[in-house]
Amino acid sequence: MSKHSSPAFGLFAPAILGPAVLHAFRKLDPRSLARNPVIFSTALVSLVATVLALREALTAGPNAAIGVQIAIWLWFTVLFANFAEAVAEGRGKARADAFRATKSSAQAKVLADARDRTAFRARDVERVEVGELILVEAGDTLPTDGEVVEGAASVDESAITGESAPVIRESGGDRSSVTGGTRLVSDWLVVRVTAKPGETFLDRMIALVEGAKRQKTPNEIALDILLAGLTLVFLLVVVTLPVFASWSGTTLPVIYLVALFVTLIPTTIGGLLSAIGIAGMERLVKANVVAKSGRAVEAAGDIDVLLLDKTGTITFGNRMADAFEPAPGVTEQELAEAALLASLADDTPEGKSIVDLARRRFGLAATLDARATYVPFSAHTRMSGVDLPGGGALRKGASDAMAALSGAPLSPAVDQIVKRIGASGGTPLVVAQDGRVLGVIHLKDVVKPAIRERFAELRRMGIRTVMITGDNPLTAAAIAAEAGVDDFLAEATPEKKLELIRREQAEGRLVAMCGDGSNDAPALAQADVGVAMNTGTPAAKEAGNLIDLDSDPTKLIEIVLVGKQLLISRGALTTFSVANDVAKYFAILPALFVAAYPGLGVLDVMGLGSPQSAILSAVIFNALVIVALIPIALKGVAYTPASASALLGRNLLVYGLGGLIVPFLGIKAIDLVVDLLHLA
């Protein structure tokens, strides 16, 4: 559930429902309808039906009553399709309004010199130019996007990410990017502006979320072409029916042909297609991911290869103490006590994990001693430790450094432990007391719990996972085996990542990856789905086509699931719509031709009351089924990881067979009501 979720964004929240009804009428504008060929055709036919019904009514024709009812329900069909799209857009606009409320209208403090923070000039945000320096102090809201050039500060990004815990932003490195709309909690920053007014990340996010710049994806365009082709085919079919009717001595009222045409064309998927696409983008926003285009969302649903960084994605990123392995003649508890004392002042994650492991395993309770001299880790010595007040020096460090400290090579037993830990992908940390080696601490890059199951799930979807790491091949192989990935790229450089992506794409595969640094930008741009972290550099965020506001590398897996759900939802409802139209043949065609061809009576399996009630019931069902399917279009079809053939079989069974059965039941129920009320 997104941190931005609220009742205001519910499926049919009053705040969305009311405006959506009004917006459905506004969408009757021909310029708006023209974007959807099926619904545009339905609107044109509804207009023709209205003219025919009025003429019948004015001339007291025999089909006046049913003509008026058919015309009304045809317009309802158009309005219901517009309503589905308006509800989807309304949910996006509600989120966009929430984001828009965070935009600052305050003036920016423009600096002439980054070193002189007292000499600033207040200027309207709209007049601040790219490249200028602005000062942001505690309590200020960042007026625009930029990159920190001076200072370090705690920044509240909850307005963008929904995460309440402030984050540190500072000059240099990969955490220098700041976003307009966030607020400084402490200290100050000098920021170089990187976005023009109206083109900030927040501005683009608002436009994308509310759908103002949503372009149709290739999949949607292809489906639009297919639906337009089917519409043209059914138009030709309906136009030729009067000829067959005249040969058989039957006359078909034009209003009946109009009803037949609308019920046979794929109005159901035509009316829901846009809503499915908008809802897919909105589901990503709920996951705190902003898509720069719908194409990226669709591609996520079709990817074949998933590239994942090891650190922070597959593993926790910090080496943690996993075991104490004593040298011959030393007990495990003796080693643990020495390691604990040597690590009490070690504030690194590794040092803290050693203290935690020693206390958990043996219940040791030693604390910092003010009389002791603690030796911090140094890149030069590659060791750390403590000089005890009563005499004695405890040290822990790299195996070669500890061998040099003791003045002799490690014993064969200890050397074997060191090599075994290294071969398993771990890091050996040797502990010595007064130059005597006591044993080895096994530091392990801990694989996240349940990550193996997630990779197995991806494998069932047909997605191959590749771990990317800077580790040596031996360590990379050990972690890859433990995590359950399909392959790995060790000693990865930006060039190697780019080469791997291009090689996979050359073999016809779609590739997804995530990154946050400037050195990831080429690979993010090359990948079919590039997920940039919000905490990353501006270059990374420009190169990616999806931006994760939570900066969680594992979100890539969730993005894949959203993309697959979007594609499956579109396919399932298309299947239902086409199957739906097949069933309507059995309702309308016997009603039209049973008088001329009595043999067609066997097709009237529903036993409908009369030809008029059959036609009217089919038209009413055709309109109401769009409304009934709006929740599915917006929520998406439930997705269960499985192979493509299994998913196809399930969809054909549920939505194909369901699309055949539901119209029979629905049209029959409506026909009973129509006969009861004597509407036809």
CA distance 553 to 533: 8
Is residue 309 annotated as part of the catalytic site, yes or no?
yes
Question: Is 382 annotated as a binding-site member?
Answer: yes
Question: Under DSSP, is residue 658 helix (H, G, I), strand (E, B) or coil?
Answer: helix
The residue type found at 19 is: P
Alpha-carbon gap, residue 563 to 526, rounded angstroms: 19
The number of C-alpha atoms within 13 Å of 415 and in the hemisphere containing its C-beta is: 7
Per the listing, tokens 């390691």 go with 339
Structure-derived torsion over alpha carbons of residues 149, 152, 157, 159, reported in degrees to the nearest 10: -70
CA 557 vs. chain centroid, Å, equals 9
SS3 3: coil
In this structure, the strands spanning 464-468 and 487-489 are parallel
> Is position 384 annotated in a ligand binding site?
yes
Annotated ligand binding at 380? The verdict is yes
Detail the DSSP E strand segments found in 388-541. 393-397, 427-433, 436-447, 464-468, 487-489, 511-515, 529-533
Query: Six-digit token pair at 78?
Result: 């158009």
- Residue 613 annotated as binding site: no
| 364 strand-pairing partners | none
Are residues 303 and 530 in contact, defined by beta-carbon separation less than 8 angstroms? no
- Cα separation, 223 vs 271, in Å, equals 13
Distance CA 261, CA 564 (A): 33
Residue 539 annotated as part of some ligand binding site: no
Does 383 count as an annotated binding residue? yes
Instruction: Classify strands 305-309 and 464-468 as parallel, antiparallel or unpaired.
Output: parallel
Per-residue DSSP letters for 37-93?
Answer: HHHHHHHHHHHHHHHHHHHHHHTT-TTHHHHHHHHHHHHHHHHHHHHHHHHHHHHHH
Can you tell me the distance from the alpha carbon of 94 to that of 104, in angstroms, rounded to the nearest whole number? 19
User: Helices then strands (H, E): number in the chain?
Assistant: 23, 22
Q: Does 424 count as an annotated binding residue?
A: no
Amino acid, single-letter form, for residue 289: V
Please tell me which residue in 309, 322, 445, 528 is annotated as part of the active site.
309
258: burial class by Cβ within 10 Å (0-12, 13-18, 19+)?
Answer: buried
Torsion of CA 136, 137, 143, 146, to 10 degrees: 40
Contact 501, 521 (CB under 8 A): no
> Rounded to whole angstroms, how far apart are CA atoms 429 and 438?
11
Q: Annotation-wise, does 516 bind a ligand?
A: yes
- Whether 377 has a binding-site annotation, put simply, is yes
Phi, psi values for residue 467, rounded to 5°:
-90, 130
Q: Are strands 108-111 and 120-123 parallel, antiparallel or unpaired?
A: antiparallel
Strand 393-397 and strand 383-387: pairing? antiparallel
SS3 594: coil
Residue 381 is assigned to a ligand binding site: yes
Contact 307, 498 (CB under 8 A): no
What is the C-alpha to C-alpha distance for residues 133 and 130, in angstroms, rounded to an integer? Answer: 9
- Give the whole-angstrom CA distance, residue 618 versus residue 392: 93
Counting Cβ atoms within 10 Å, is residue 159 exposed (0-12), middle (13-18) or buried (19+)? buried
The answer on whether 187 is annotated among ligand-binding residues is no
DSSP helix/strand/coil, 463? coil
Instruction: Point out the residues that are catalytic.
Output: 309
For the annotated binding site for Mg(2+), the residues are 516, 520
For the annotated binding site for ATP, the residues are 346, 350, 377-384, 396
For the annotated binding site, the residues are 346, 350, 377-384, 396, 516, 520
